[in-house]
């Protein structure tokens, strides 16, 4: 009888309409519990409030007269600070130099110094769009410890041959401009040239500023209490300078580009930038760097956009409580029986719940971040703290990522709540598993190794999606969780969180289907 | 409520359902059918498996063996189950902070029904004045009504209520009784469980008596009473042994219930009187018990009562 009366599968299970009804029902469930709606609104307020408190200027004032950091062609904040011996080049042309030495001095205290060279001290040649900070450039250089490099537009770094320069064995560098393209070469003898790389600088002015430069970022000093950075200068000896193309009749000018310190280092009280002509060449001394701004000790007076979102963890806890309670209250009250009698396909019930609570948590995170990033930035700058500019794609990722972070965390809590059927236990599991590692790792209470391990293997890895500062091999800083650097890339860290949520969700679906209610 | 009920839709069939919880065989071959147009009482002592059977029917508990169907279809195949069967298993199953109306609203949305249905069932259950109040503040009786409203939401051909008389005041009791009768009169199949036969005495047309996970009797109330109607005769006599011998020889089942009382079954009272007269056995009192539904029930379920309280004299033994 059963067999003859049971309609065909297709007739019994028209999928789409059924799921839309389920989603509608779960949404009605959510919006008709005032506590959940209030908590969601409260989560937005908490994220904003914590963010404002954490970045409140209070009595402290920002670095004196610090203006906004220059922004490079890629949209990110950059340091563009170096000693420049230059003249304009009209149209295409070449510059060729030999570098016979690169030495440096590191300040040990305000009055004294010792010899020393930053690994990324730079002496070389550069083709630059103009003298404004942040303008496009391409450069060939010898570095303190990383051999010959071609770098352009702040973030790009191409390795040439390794090695150092000596008077007997100078390093030969050449840049050739051709339209928008600048190509870098190196040579050991000035006759056999090897191409290191080429850069397309779109919109490069017809008349570019071309010449010699020297820069030196401050030097990392390990002390008993941690890592500090000491100001350093570098001096490069350019023995021979050959020019090809339409140059302005050999009149070299010299200047310090950017007298503001930036975040890359500056002159100590006993050093200054200068260029001394030496026969056919120059000896140039300079400090600073031509590189993207990174987080870490040097940027203590600078805010990053994730600084305004430090409250996200608090909002996340609230949405975890809501996510877990969304299912556990049904178990506590026996309501789950009513739910599953109304919708016997249990996996779909959990999917609908996840969509509802996840969407709400997403909106909570998105709205909070979309308010706090611009508002916090504006407030910060009016208090004298410059904000580290990031490319708009990065900013978008941080804002949307905050929403995704809360969404996935709430779905994780929903899944754990389904598995454990008790809200207090489920909330504890998620908070201890996700928020606690995040707080421990980023508050610098653990050794860096332990912090990084936590941020790789626990769901706290997901917070990486909020990281706006980038990691560059060619810029030295403390790349540690305490200074805003997660061990995993933003989306990889987020993927770790998603993996946890996916596994928990799959287990929850299996258990929900298998168990008697 | 003007909808005509399709009789083939208005059935529940439970077929040889077995279910074990740990060491307890909760359902042990439970088999019965609920038919349209009548109220079927589902009665048995606590722990007999009534609620478990209902949970199996709703697909909430998975049976170890056997099948349960609603209108001929397994519950899980129903697309909008509440339009096939409305059930009230646990009146406390509401979220306390949600209003009665909102509780019904999400249920309605889950079945693709609109708010109009919600208002209709609120009126039917007499809850329209408290619809905006939080369900957490409801008395048990009001929660029962809310549960009834939820069961009626999909205007289903089958209605199944677990212990709906619990917590009702006399007025509510009468309302419920009339209400169940009206549902049956509309052609619906109505299954109502109770652990007290007296609650069903004037309500049910048909009873399924269960004990220890299986059906003990499945018949109309009239049949049940008739099957028990031969009843029992109590005899008070000073010549107990003589009376027992005479009656036993005539084929009755006789047992001594005291120094001067015996209980006779299997023989009508008038036969007992004439037989004793013919053998000149003296007696001082003959009383005939016609079985009530309650007694019939007690008789049926005597062996399957799991949690029976001991009488004081039993406790002393």
Task: Identify the closest residue of chain A to B83 by CA–CA distance.
Answer: A342
- Its domain, for residue A229, covers 78-292
**Is the minimum CB–CB distance between A119 and chain B shorter than 8 Å?**
no
User: Distance (Å, rounded) from C-alpha B9 to C-alpha B19?
Assistant: 26
In a domain, A73, yes or no: no
In a domain, B296, yes or no: no
**Which DSSP state fits B16?**
E
More confident position, A29 or B234? A29
In a shared domain, residues B269 and B185: no
In a shared domain, residues B138 and B273: no
pLDDT at B317 over 90: no
Q: Is the ipTM of this complex over 0.95?
A: no
What tens digit of pLDDT does each residue of A228-263 get? 788 899 999 999 899 988 887 668 999 999 866 567
User: Distance (Å, rounded) from C-alpha A216 to C-alpha A105?
Assistant: 10
For residue A267, what pLDDT is reported?
82
CATH number of the domain enclosing B102: 3.40.50.300
- For residue A245, the cross-strand partners are A93
More confident position, B177 or A385? B177
Mutate to test the interface with B, among A338, A343, A346, A517 (most CBs of B within 10 A): A338
Portion 311-370 of A in contact with B at CB < 8 A:
329-330, 333-335, 337-345
In a shared domain, residues B120 and B62: yes
CATH number of the domain enclosing B280: 3.30.70.100
Task: Identify the closest residue of chain B to A335 by CA–CA distance.
Answer: B93
In a shared domain, residues A504 and A383: yes
User: Distance (Å, rounded) from C-alpha A441 to C-alpha A451?
Assistant: 4
Structural tokens at position A220: 């990392």
In a shared domain, residues A222 and A344: no
Q: Determine contact, residues A350/A418, Cβ cutoff 8 Å.
A: yes
In a domain, B1, yes or no: no
What tens digit of pLDDT does each residue of A30-51 get? 999 999 999 999 999 999 999 9
In a domain, B4, yes or no: no
In a domain, A10, yes or no: no
In a domain, A70, yes or no: no
What tens digit of pLDDT does each residue of A143-198 get? 999 999 999 999 999 999 998 888 889 999 999 999 999 999 999 999 999 999 99
What tens digit of pLDDT does each residue of B13-59 get? 999 999 999 999 999 999 999 999 999 999 998 889 999 999 999 99
* Final residue before a domain boundary, out of A292, A324, A346: A292
Give φ, ψ of A41 to 5 degrees.
-65, -40
For residue B231, what pLDDT is reported?
67
Interacting residues of B11 by C-beta distance below 8 A, sequence separation 6+: B33, B34, B35, B36, B69, B70, B71, B72, B158, B189
In a shared domain, residues B160 and B271: no
Q: Determine contact, residues B295/B39, Cβ cutoff 8 Å.
A: no
Task: Give residue for tokens 């039917």.
Answer: B124
pLDDT at B315 over 50: no
In 3D space, the residue among A310, A466, A469, A311 whose CA is nearest the CA of residue A389 turns out to be A469
* Final residue before a domain boundary, out of A292, A310, A342: A292
For residue A384, what pLDDT is reported?
82
Q: Length of chain A, please?
A: 517
Structural tokens at position B255: 């047992």
pLDDT exceeding 70 applies to what percent of chain A? 93
- Its domain, for residue B127, covers 12-218
Contact A342 B62 (CB under 8 A): no
Smallest Cα distance from A332 to chain B, Å? 9
In a shared domain, residues B97 and B182: yes
In a domain, B113, yes or no: yes
Mutate to test the interface with B, among A339, A341, A356 (most CBs of B within 10 A): A341
CATH number of the domain enclosing A195: 2.60.120.560
Q: Determine contact, residues A277/A61, Cβ cutoff 8 Å.
A: no
**H helices, E strands: number in chain B:** 11, 14
User: Distance (Å, rounded) from C-alpha B317 to C-alpha B315?
Assistant: 6
In a domain, B162, yes or no: yes
Specify burial of residue A210 (Cβ count, 10 A radius: 0-12, 13-18, 19+): buried
Around B59, how many Cα atoms within 13 Å sit in the side-chain half-sphere? 23
In a shared domain, residues A29 and A105: no
Portion 18-37 of A in contact with B at CB < 8 A:
18, 21-22, 24-29, 32-35
Structural tokens at position A146: 């990383």
In a domain, B294, yes or no: no
Three state DSSP letters for B66-105:
EEEEECCEEHHHCCCHHHCEEEECCCCCCCCCCEHHHHHH
Question: Burial code of A340-356, b = ≥16 C-beta within 10 A, e = fewer?
Answer: bbbbbbbebbbbbbbbb
Radius of gyration of chain B (CA): 24
User: Distance (Å, rounded) from C-alpha B82 to C-alpha B67?
Assistant: 19
In a shared domain, residues B84 and B190: yes
Structural tokens at position A350: 């959990």
Cβ neighbours of A335 in B, within 8 Å: 93-95
Interacting residues of A303 by C-beta distance below 8 A, sequence separation 6+: A55, A376, A377, A380, A385, A386, A387, A388
What tens digit of pLDDT does each residue of B266-292 get? 787 888 888 888 988 899 888 877 666
In a domain, B40, yes or no: yes
A195: left (phi over 0), alpha (psi -120 to 50) or beta: beta
Count of structural domains within chain B: 2
More confident position, B308 or B119? B119
In a shared domain, residues A273 and A323: no
> First and final CA of chain B: distance in angstroms?
58
In a domain, A212, yes or no: yes
Count of structural domains within chain A: 2
User: Distance (Å, rounded) from C-alpha A180 to C-alpha A338?
Assistant: 69
B163: left (phi over 0), alpha (psi -120 to 50) or beta: left
For residue B313, what pLDDT is reported?
52
Task: Identify the closest residue of chain B to A34 by CA–CA distance.
Answer: B97
Q: Tell me the pLDDT band of A62, cut-offs 50, 70 and 90.
A: very low
In a shared domain, residues B171 and B244: no
* Final residue before a domain boundary, out of B218, B247, B266: B218
User: Distance (Å, rounded) from C-alpha A83 to C-alpha A274?
Assistant: 7
Contact A340 B60 (CB under 8 A): yes
Contact A21 B82 (CB under 8 A): no
In a domain, A142, yes or no: yes
Q: Determine contact, residues A318/A46, Cβ cutoff 8 Å.
A: yes
């Amino acid at each position: 009888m059963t067999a003859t009366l049971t309609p065909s599968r297709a007739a019994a299970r028209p999928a789409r309409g059924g799921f839309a009804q389920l989603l509608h029902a779960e949404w009605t469930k959510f919006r008709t519990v005032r506590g959940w709606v209030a908590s969601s609104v409260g989560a937005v307020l908490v994220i904003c409030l914590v963010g404002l408190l954490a970045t409140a200027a209070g009595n402290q004032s920002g670095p004196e007269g610090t203006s906004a950091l220059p922004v490079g062609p890629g949209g990110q904040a950059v340091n563009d600070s170096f000693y420049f011996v230059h003249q304009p080049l009209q149209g295409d042309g070449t510059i060729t130099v030999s570098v016979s030495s690169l030495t440096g001095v590191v300040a040990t205290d305000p009055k004294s110094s010792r010899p020393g060279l930053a690994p990324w001290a730079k002496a070389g040649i550069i083709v630059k769009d103009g003298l404004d900070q942040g303008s496009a450039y391409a450069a060939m250089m010898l570095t303190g410890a990383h051999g010959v490099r071609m770098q352009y537009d702040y973030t790009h770094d191409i390795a040439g041959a390794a090695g150092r320069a000596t008077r007997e064995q100078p390093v030969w560098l050449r840049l050739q401009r051709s339209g928008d393209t600048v190509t870098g070469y190196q040579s050991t003898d000035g006759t056999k040239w090897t191409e290191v790389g080429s850069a397309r600088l779109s919109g490069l002015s017809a008349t570019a500023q071309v010449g010699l430069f020297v820069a030196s970022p401050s030097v990392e000093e390990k002390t008993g209490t941690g890592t500090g950075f000491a100001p350093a200068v570098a001096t490069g000896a350019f023995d021979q300078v050959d020019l090809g193309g339409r140059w302005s009749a050999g009149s070299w000018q010299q200047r310090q580009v950017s007298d503001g310190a930036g975040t890359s280092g500056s002159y100590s009280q006993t050093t200054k930038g200068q260029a001394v002509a030496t026969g056919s060449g120059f000896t140039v001394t300079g400090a600073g760097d031509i590189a993207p701004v990174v987080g870490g000790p040097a940027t203590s007076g600078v805010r990053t956009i994730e600084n305004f979102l430090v409250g996200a963890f608090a909002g996340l806890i609230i949405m975890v409580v809501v996510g877990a309670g969304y299912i556990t209250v049904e178990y506590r009250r026996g309501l789950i029986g009513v739910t599953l009698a109304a919708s016997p396909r249990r996996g779909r019930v959990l999917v609908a719940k996840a969509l509802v609570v996840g969407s709400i948590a997403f909106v909570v995170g998105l709205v909070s971040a979309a308010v706090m990033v611009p508002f916090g930035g504006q407030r910060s700058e009016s208090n004298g703290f410059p904000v580290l500019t990031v490319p708009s794609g990065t900013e978008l990722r941080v804002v949307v990522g905050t929403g995704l972070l809360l969404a996935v965390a709430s779905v994780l809590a929903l899944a754990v709540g389904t598995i454990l059927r008790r809200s207090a236990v489920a909330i504890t599991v998620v908070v201890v598993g996700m928020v606690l590692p995040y707080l421990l790792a980023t508050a610098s209470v653990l050794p860096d190794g332990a912090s990084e391990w936590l941020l790789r293997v626990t769901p706290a890895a997901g917070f990486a999606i909020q990281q706006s500062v980038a990691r560059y091999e060619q810029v030295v800083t403390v790349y540690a969780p305490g200074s805003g650097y997660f061990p995993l890339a933003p989306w990889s860290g987020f993927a770790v969180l998603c993996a946890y949520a996916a596994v928990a969700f799959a287990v929850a679906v299996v258990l929900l289907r298998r168990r008697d209610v | 409520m003007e909808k005509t009920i399709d009789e083939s839709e208005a059935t529940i069939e439970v077929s040889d359902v077995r279910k074990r919880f740990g060491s307890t065989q909760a359902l042990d071959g439970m088999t019965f059918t609920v038919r349209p147009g009548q109220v079927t009482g589902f009665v048995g002592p606590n722990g007999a498996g009534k609620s478990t059977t209902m949970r199996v029917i709703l697909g909430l508990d998975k049976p170890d063996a056997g099948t349960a169907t609603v209108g001929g279809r397994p519950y899980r195949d129903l697309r909008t189950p509440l339009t096939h069967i409305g059930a009230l298993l646990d009146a406390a199953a509401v979220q306390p902070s949600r209003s009665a109306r909102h509780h019904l609203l999400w249920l309605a949305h889950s079945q693709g029904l609109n708010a109009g249905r919600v208002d209709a069932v609120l009126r039917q259950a007499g809850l329209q004045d408290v619809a905006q109040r939080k369900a957490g503040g409801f008395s048990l009786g009001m929660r029962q009504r809310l549960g009834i409203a939820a069961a009626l939401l999909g205007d289903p051909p089958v209605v199944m209520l677990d212990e709906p008389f619990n917590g009702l005041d006399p007025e509510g009791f009468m309302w419920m009784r009339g209400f169940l009768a009206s549902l049956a009169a509309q052609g619906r199949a109505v299954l109502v469980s109770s652990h007290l036969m007296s609650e069903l005495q004037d309500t049910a047309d048909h009873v399924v008596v269960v004990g220890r996970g299986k059906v003990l009797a499945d018949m109309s109330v009239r049949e049940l009473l008739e099957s028990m109607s031969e009843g029992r005769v109590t005899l008070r006599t000073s010549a107990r042994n003589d009376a027992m011998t005479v009656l036993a020889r005539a084929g009755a089942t006789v047992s001594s219930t005291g120094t001067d009382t015996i209980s006779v079954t299997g023989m009508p009272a008038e036969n007992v009187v004439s037989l004793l007269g013919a053998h000149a056995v003296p007696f001082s009192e003959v009383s005939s018990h016609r079985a009530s539904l309650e007694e019939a029930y007690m008789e049926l379920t005597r062996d399957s009562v799991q949690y029976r309280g001991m009488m004081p004299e039993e406790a002393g033994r």
